Amino acid sequence: MEILFDEIPSLDLADFTSGTAEQKAAFVKKLSDAYQNIGFVAIKNHGLSQELQDRLYHSIKSFFALPDEIKAKYEKPEIGFQRGYTGKGKEHAKGRNTGDLKEFYHVGQELSNIPDSDPLKSEYPANLWPDEIPEFENDANEAFRILENAGKSMLKAIALILELPEDYFEDKVAYGNSILRQIHYFPIENPDEVPADAVRAAEHGDINLITLLMGASADGLQVLRKDGKWIPITALPDQLVVNVGDMLERLTNKKLKSTIHRVVNPPKEKMNSSRYSIPFFMHPRSEMDLTCLDSCVSEENPKLFTDATAGEFLDERLRELGLKK
């Protein structure tokens, strides 16, 4: 049944992780309705404290306030910007050439946490930590672990939506190629000097399985509803926004929706203010098979995607975004 949401649904993750059988089933049903229609929910009781969020936001604001030449020390185009800093306007949405009005910093799996026997240990680049912000490493690593655990709980619920074993995704996301992205939508002192079509983040779908977003510092995030209407994404301070990414849409043959979203520019008089945002892009291991699940393919819903691994799909998308040559 098609549902047109006026706002994204709010759910309590504790209903799934520690509730009764009835609460758990109700959580899965509400999540299923949301992910088959709007692709977004807001969740509370995710484990990420406000105190840690405040510390992390303080760290990234301190980093982005550094001079551009210092930030550039942590920019590594030779690894496709997978770790460290990505400068202003370097990324653009798929199908566009105009760069987004943002800069960001990537943190991935800490190599010391990956067993020596796992081939991923040599596949991932090492994290880069800014010498100028010593507290950044601890704050980012702690947030990464908590968000990864919350993501694993969400994937257990998603597995049940798909009538798969609850632990279906566990081995597929173990030490996965997830990214904690700290974003600064930088101030524009003279809006007339930027390209007319330049926006903070042009409309796009996320690449990964699911994205967990901790509270952004200003309005602007919007999602495109099925009927073509853009609706604002709002969440309470104690909530994370969790949405379906392209990999999960691909795996489920579009049963679960990777909904197009964007970050619009504020009114011209507010363009000279910063906006900060910290999404956690939950990726599987590169060898995960994204071939559409047999249960999601039928005569009424024929297979829509060619077979690919997560690593192949990610590589293709990074090239489309201008982050990899």
pLDDT tens per residue across span 225-263: 888 889 888 777 889 999 999 999 999 999 999 988 888
Angstrom distance (rounded) from CA 112 to CA 191: 44
Angstrom distance (rounded) from CA 9 to CA 29: 12
**In the chain, domain spans:** 10-320
- As beta bridge partners, residue 279 has 213
pTM equals 0.92
Q: Three-state DSSP class for 72?
A: helix
CB 232 within 8 A of CB 222: yes
Q: What is the mean pLDDT of the chain?
A: 90
Angstrom distance (rounded) from CA 318 to CA 111: 22
CB 308 within 8 A of CB 324: no
Token code pair at residue 295: 């249960």
Beta-sheet strand order (sheet of 261-263): 201-204, 261-263, 221-224, 230-232
pLDDT higher than 80, residue 191: no
pLDDT higher than 90, residue 72: yes
Angstrom distance (rounded) from CA 187 to CA 192: 13
The angle formed by the CA atoms of residues 69, 70 and 71, to the nearest 5 degrees, is 95
CB 256 within 8 A of CB 296: no
Pairing of strands 221-224, 210-214: unpaired
What is the structure's pLDDT at 76?
Answer: 93
pLDDT tens per residue across span 135-164: 999 999 999 999 999 999 999 999 999 999
What is the structure's pLDDT at 227?
Answer: 85
Report which DSSP code applies to 47.
Answer: S
CB 235 within 8 A of CB 241: yes
- As beta bridge partners, residue 42 has 10, 241
Angstrom distance (rounded) from CA 25 to CA 33: 12
Residues 6+ apart with CB under 8 A from 269: none
Token code pair at residue 322: 């201008």
Select, from the ranges 161-170, 189-198, 235-244, the one with the highest average predicted confidence (pLDDT): 161-170
What is the structure's pLDDT at 261?
Answer: 87
Token code pair at residue 66: 């550094």
Higher pLDDT, 186 or 256: 256
Topology, domain 10-320: Jelly Rolls (2.60.120)
**Which ranges of 163-309 does DSSP label H, i.e. alpha helix?**
170-173, 246-251
Angstrom distance (rounded) from CA 284 to CA 209: 7
Pairing of strands 40-44, 230-232: unpaired
